[in-house]
Amino acid sequence: MSQLFKRYRGFILVGLLLIGLSFINQELGKSVFDTTTYQLREMILIIPPIFILLGLLDIWVPKQTMVKYMGEGSGLKGILLALFIGSAAAGPLYGAFPVAAVFMKKGVKFSNILIFLGAWSTTKIPMLLFEFSSLGVPFALTRLLVNLPGIIIIAAILEKLMSQKEKDSLYERAQSL
C-alpha cells in the first residue's frame, strides 16, 4: 500500500489541492475539473493506438534493421529517416516518448532519437500544410528551413554534452520498459 502511495503521491497531492481549490473557488474548480476531464479523454483516445503501433513496430521490425538504418553507423540516412518519421507522425508530443523508448530498445543512435523528437514537435506535415494555407508559403518554408538545421544541430550538441554513462543509463532504462 505504501509503495502504491509513494508512486502516486504527486497525483494524490494535486488531486487534494484541486478539491481544496474547489471549496475556495467553485467556478475555478469546475473549470479545472472540466479541463482535466477533457485532457484525460484525449489521452485515452490517443495512447492506445500509439501503443498498438509500437507493439507492431517492436515485433515486425528486427533490431538489426533499425540499427542498420538509424543506428550508430547510419549517417545521413539515419538523420533523414528520423526527420521523416517524426514529421509524418500524428498526435501530441507525449505520444513521441514511448516511440523514442522503443527506438532505444532497438538500438537507434541517440542523436537520431533526439532528431525524431524534435521533428515530431516542430515539423509535422499537417502543421506545415496548415501554415501554408493560413500563414503563407514564405512563412511556412522559412520556419521549416530554420527548424530542420536547428533540430540537427541541437541533437548533435546534446549528444556531445551527455556523457556515455548518462546515455547508457537511458538505454538501460528503456530496456526495462
Summarised one tens digit per residue, pLDDT across range 87-96 is 988 778 888 8
The answer to whether the CB of 105 falls within 8 A of the CB of 58 is yes
Give CA–CA dist 90/69, Å, rounded: 22
> 42-46, 58-62, 85-89, 145-149: which has the highest mean pLDDT?
145-149
1 — pLDDT class (breaks 50, 70, 90): low
Q: Taking 80 as the threshold, does the pLDDT of residue 124 lie above it?
A: yes
- Reference 85, options 111, 51, 123; nearest CA is 123
Burial (Cβ within 10 Å: 0-12, 13-18, ≥19) of residue 92 = middle
Residue of 5 and 121 predicted with greater confidence: 121
Tell me the chain's radius of gyration from C-alpha atoms: 20
Which residue type does 88 have? A
Residue of 161 and 64 predicted with greater confidence: 161
What local confidence, expressed as pLDDT, does residue 113 receive? 96
Which residue shows C-alpha cell 518519421?
Answer: 85
User: Rounded mean pLDDT of 76-100?
Assistant: 89
Give CA–CA dist 70/73, Å, rounded: 8
What local confidence, expressed as pLDDT, does residue 33 receive? 87
Q: Report CA 78 to chain centroid distance, whole Å.
A: 18
User: Rounded mean pLDDT of 129-134?
Assistant: 90
User: Rounded mean pLDDT of 129-149?
Assistant: 93
